[in-house]
A and B are shown apart, each in its own frame.
Chain A
Amino acid sequence: AQRVTQPEKLLSVFKGAPVELKCNYSYSGSPELFWYVQYSRQRLQLLLRHISRESIKGFTADLNKGETSFHLKKPFAQEEDSAMYYCALRKYNFNKFYFGSGTKLNVKP
């Protein structure tokens, strides 16, 4: 069965510090991995997806199939990064998404 694990419920860092939000998954096939973000009073929205290999708002995430991880990283956190972050997995060519339990990132001034 597929599962997405985000081990940290809350991550607090100071502005300017590096941040890494962890995501591990279990799935035997070829996964598609995503990071979604929910800012306060806003809708859940896509931040980035592994297939794009892009940097969005300074965030990057690399799919490590050996470690079955898709950690989200940013070298210098900003206060506006404070939000709830969800890692999600989609089975290749299927329409079902599996979300992790989320990590609340709090960036302190």
Chain B
Amino acid sequence: KAGVTQTPRYLIKTRGQQVTLSCSPISGHRSVSWYQQTPGQGLQFLFEYFSETQRNKGNFPGRFSGRQFSNSRSEMNVSTLELGDSALYLCASTTQGGYQETQYFGPGTRLLVL
């Protein structure tokens, strides 16, 4: 099976712009979670989607949003970018999103905000 894919892999934006990141889960996986990784804050949970519904959300401002499509692919959007949004954005997929399931991470999108 192909792994989790994320596009783009690298992105440079300027403050105030918006960005959309894409994640394609492993075939058959219906749950997609997003995480932000920074040197200072580590890995932090953004949100989780299952069957096109957001089931769980982390402590991030409303500028961070996401959605999931019927084919389980997911996108996350960050509006009005700030310098502090520079990070590695990771998505992870599981079959159902159960608490004992292994999460398979994609390679991530490295976002640099100037």
Are A and B associated in one complex?
no
Chain A interface residues toward B at CB < 8 A: none
Chain B interface residues toward A at CB < 8 A: none
